[in-house]
Amino acid sequence: MSDEQWQRERRTVITNALSVGAATGAYGISFGAIAVTGGLSLLQTQVLSALMFTGGSQFALVGVLIGGGGAASAIATSVMLGARNAFYGLRLAPILQVSGWRRAAAAQLTIDESTAMTLARDERRFAGRGARLAFWLTGLSVFVFWNASTLIGAVSASAIGDPRALGLDAAIPAGFLALVWPRLKDRRSWSIAVGAGLVALVLTPFLSPGVPVLAAALVAVVAGVLQVRRPGGGAAS
């Protein structure tokens, strides 16, 4: 493999990492704004972006708290949403080949974006160097953009008087919708989405806030079990 080819691979990886970082930055602004207008302190909001650092879970934690849910259901919802990162880590482990503190750092950067960019590189080329570079650069780029934009959103939101007058309460479900939208690819995913939505809707008048969302997770369990039982219906990726 020539040096020129590696240089080209390197440039592609760097460009992609920066564009993905910038794109998540836009999303970080909305997270910061929503968290602070929802009643979290600036520090709590920033701790989530720096230490939890997995967008869907952060939005879920804040969303459940804003909706009047208790700490327990907020924690359960966000941690369950973060469970997918374990499966990303499983896919990434043979590519990254890290141990000790590097593994601890790699785990923190294991999110949707870094995983997608890493798996998009051909790991057989350049002995996996391109894939590894994609992981670390995308992870760091998203981390920097995500935290900077969270701060910008959080600080500007502190200046907002009435979040409802600006429609920020509609921005929260719209954000969740935009997160789930790319996952709705086929009939199966739509059935899960509609089923879970209905379960949460029907249970809302009967259970304390936050619990209906947890109950809807059972739809995923049923769907997962059914998929495996169906002949030839092995799990996707």
What's the distance, CA 192 to chain centroid?
19
Query: Which one, 6 or 179, has the nearer CB to another protein?
Result: 179
Query: Which one, 4 or 182, has the nearer CB to another protein?
Result: 182
Beta carbons of 169 and 37 less than 8 angstroms apart: no
Q: How far is the CB of 14 from another protein (least distance, A)?
A: 22
Q: How far is the CB of 178 from another protein (least distance, A)?
A: 4
Helical ranges in the chain per DSSP H: 3-37, 42-47, 55-66, 71-82, 84-96, 101-108, 112-120, 129-157, 168-180, 187-203, 211-229
Q: How far is the CB of 4 from another protein (least distance, A)?
A: 33
CA 64, 65, 66, 68 torsion: positive or negative?
positive
Q: How far is the CB of 144 from another protein (least distance, A)?
A: 18
Query: Which one, 4 or 161, has the nearer CB to another protein?
Result: 161
Q: How far is the CB of 6 from another protein (least distance, A)?
A: 26
Query: Which one, 23 or 144, has the nearer CB to another protein?
Result: 23
Query: Which one, 14 or 166, has the nearer CB to another protein?
Result: 166
Beta carbons of 42 and 33 less than 8 angstroms apart: no
CA 202, 205, 207, 210 torsion: positive or negative?
positive
